[in-house]
Amino acid sequence: MRALVLALVAATALAMPVRADEVTVAVTAIVEHPALDAARDGVKEALAEAGFKEGENLKFLYESAQGNPGTAAQIARQFIGESPNVIVPISTPSAQAVVAATRDIPVVFTAVSDPLGAQLVKDMQKPGGNVTGLSDMSPVADHVALIKEITPNAKTIGFIYNSAEANSVSTLAALKTEAEKAGLAVVESVATKSAEVQGATRALVGRADVIYIPTDNTIVSALEAAVGVAVEAKIPLYAGDTDSVARGALAAIGFNYFDVGKQTGEIVARVLKGEAPGDIPVRVAAGTDLVINKSAAAKMGVEFSESIVKRATKIIE
């Protein structure tokens, strides 16, 4: 009976609205790079639009784990000790750290490709408990189609990833499936930390016709190292997130991560206004943009067709 009462109390606490003058939202990311930073800023913007404004009635905490999973776990414990109204972990490693650390404080994750594979929730439609969020599952089929369209002579795709990131493992599986349908082979190269990205890219020279960088936080945080090798070897390099195109990838179809953050912030606002996170289905991010980089393409020996140029939502000269 005592256990039942405690469970009912916890469930009631998760579903209670909070007063607008005492709202604290704690945000953490595994690392700082443009896509994750944009997601953080989007969360804050959506909260402001919902009436929760920093400096007025919102305390907005932010911590980066600087690429260290151990630090991510420390931040999770720190935030739990501060008892915020909602914790927003950005990226799979940060989400896993926070979800493992609390069953009481509402958690709204974002920029997580595979919430089921990462064991954050057991059901996307009925997550239950104190957790919900937003998935940025990459449109891998669109990525493969783009590679085929821009570089039709390519036969092998080089894939650089951190094998410890659950979302990257899921993306690799999806890539292999879609590549096989398109008659392409996939060559893997692993980098477990940012300092290894350059070497992992060099390992693909002579083995891959193009390189594909997924939304892997370890790899994206050191993207310039991969781009440098790709330019030197004249290997077209594609990205899974559009923010990486301005940093030297030649093209990407992906999400605008500020919009991803805004979609996440809308869920956070629903929780702050009284909805239980476990009753809110996990959403898959909406909207895809095509971004191309003409300068990067030229350095990698690629020329965009007029069709690609016309379809691009953003062109970096």
Contact 272, 23 (CB under 8 A): yes
**Spatial distance between the Cα atoms of 176 and 122, rounded to a whole number of angstroms:** 25
Give pTM, 2 decimals: 0.77
Residues of the chain with CATH 3.40.50.2300: 23-137+256-287, 140-255+289-315
**Mean predicted lDDT score pLDDT of the chain:** 93
Q: Reply yes or no on whether the pLDDT at 163 is more than 70.
A: yes
Instruction: Identify the pLDDT of residue 222.
Output: 96
Contact 54, 274 (CB under 8 A): no
Please give the residue that has the higher pLDDT: either 47 or 288. Answer: 47
pLDDT tens per residue, range 252-297: 998 889 999 999 999 999 999 999 999 999 999 988 899 999 999 9
Q: Which residues of 156-190 are buried (b: 16+ CB within 10 A; e: fewer)?
A: bbbbbbbeebbbbbbbbebbbebbeeeebebebbb
Residue that is written with structure tokens 């050191």 in the block? 222
Superfamily of domain 23-137+256-287: Response regulator (3.40.50.2300)
Q: Could you tell me which residues come within 8 angstroms of residue 3 by beta carbon, excluding any fewer than 6 positions away?
A: none
Please give the residue that has the higher pLDDT: either 61 or 22. Answer: 61
pLDDT tens per residue, range 12-43: 445 555 554 689 999 999 999 888 999 999 99
Q: How many residues does the chain have?
A: 317
Superfamily of domain 140-255+289-315: Response regulator (3.40.50.2300)
List C-alpha distances in Å: 140 to 44, 72, 271.
Answer: 29, 28, 31
Residue that is written with structure tokens 């909805």 in the block? 275
Instruction: Identify the pLDDT of residue 2.
Output: 43
What is the 3-class SS of 213-232, one letter each residue? ECCCHHHHCCHHHHHHHHHH
Instruction: Identify the pLDDT of residue 85.
Output: 98
Instruction: Identify the pLDDT of residue 42.
Output: 98
- Between strands 237-239 and 314-316, the pairing is unpaired
